[in-house]
A and B are shown apart, each in its own frame.
Chain A
Amino acid sequence: MLRSLRRFPLLPVLVGLLTACSKEKRPAATALTADATGTLTVLDWAGYEDTSMFVTFHRAYPKVTVSVAFGESDADIFGKMKAGADACVFHPYTGWQHFYVRDSLVQELDTTRISHWSEIPARFKALGQVDGKQYFIPWDWGFTSILYRTDKVPGGIDSWAALFDPKFKGHISMWDDGPGAVTIATYVKGWDETAITDAQLAEAEKMWTDQRKLNRFYWSGEPELVSGMKAGEIWVAYAWQGAYNTLLGEHVPVAYAQPKEGRNSWVGLYGISSRCQTPDLAYAFLDEKLTAAQGVNLISGFAYGHVNPAANAMVTDSNIVRALSLNDPTVLERTRFTPLVSETQRNQFGQLWARVKAAQ
Chain B
Amino acid sequence: MPAESRRRLTALLTPPALWLGAFLVAPLLLLSAYSFRAGVGGALFRDWVPTLEQYRILLGTPAFLRLLALSVGIALLVAVLATLFAYPVAYYLVFRVRERAGVYIVLLLIPFWISYLLRVMAWKVVLGEGGAVNSLLLSAGLIHEPISALFYSRLAVVVTLVYVWTPFVALPIIATLYRIDRALLEAAASLGATPWQRFWRVTAPLSLPGVLAGAVMVFIPTVGEYVTPSLVGGSSGSMYGNIIFDFFGRSANWPLGAALAVVMLALTLGLVGATSRLTRLERFIG
Task: Spell out A's residues near B (CB within 8 Å).
Answer: 72-76, 78-79, 82-83, 99, 102-103, 170, 176-179, 212-213, 215-218, 220, 223-224, 227-228, 231-233, 343-344, 346-347, 349-351, 353-355, 357-360
Contacts and interface: CB of A to CB of B under 8 A. Distances in A.
A224 B233 CA distance: 13
A231 B125 CA distance: 9
28 contacts: A74-B252, A75-B252, A79-B254, A82-B40, A170-B148, A178-B246, A178-B251, A212-B236, A215-B235, A216-B234, A217-B152, A217-B234, A217-B235, A223-B121, A228-B128, A231-B130, A233-B128, A349-B251, A350-B246, A351-B57, A351-B256, A353-B246, A355-B61, A357-B246, A358-B64, A358-B238, A358-B243, A360-B70
B15 to A, nearest CB: 28
Nearest to B229: A357
Interface in B48-96: 57, 61, 63-64, 66-67, 70
A224 B230 CA distance: 11
Contacts of B131: 231
Contacts of A351: 57, 61, 251, 253, 256
Interface in B94-117: none
B124 interface: yes
Given A212-B235, A216-B235, A350-B251, A102 B246 contact: no
Nearest to A354: B243
B273 interface: no
A346 B238 CA distance: 21
A99 B253 CA distance: 13
Interface in B26-65: 39-44, 57, 61, 63-64
A131 B164 CA distance: 51
B66 A360 contact: yes
B128 A231 contact: yes
Given A358-B67, A360-B66, A216 B152 contact: yes
Nearest to B260: A354
Contacts of A358: 61, 63-64, 66-67, 238, 243
A346 B246 CA distance: 12
Contact of A103 (B42, B233, B253): B42
Contacts of B41: 99, 102-103, 343
Given A351-B57, A353-B246, A355-B61, A346 B235 contact: no
Contacts of A360: 63, 66-67, 70
Interface string B194-237: 00000000000000000000000000000000000010011110
A13 B161 CA distance: 70
B232 to A, nearest CB: 9
Contacts of B121: 223-224, 227
B40 A73 contact: no
Interface in B239-257: 242-243, 246-254, 256
Contacts of B130: 231-233
Contacts of B57: 351
A341 to B, nearest CB: 11
Interface in B254-275: 254, 256
Contacts of B42: 103
Given A217-B233, A231-B128, 7 more contacts: A103-B42, A215-B234, A216-B152, A346-B253, A350-B247, A357-B235, A357-B242
Q: Which 4 A-B pairs have the closest CB atoms?
A: A350-B251, A231-B130, A75-B252, A358-B63
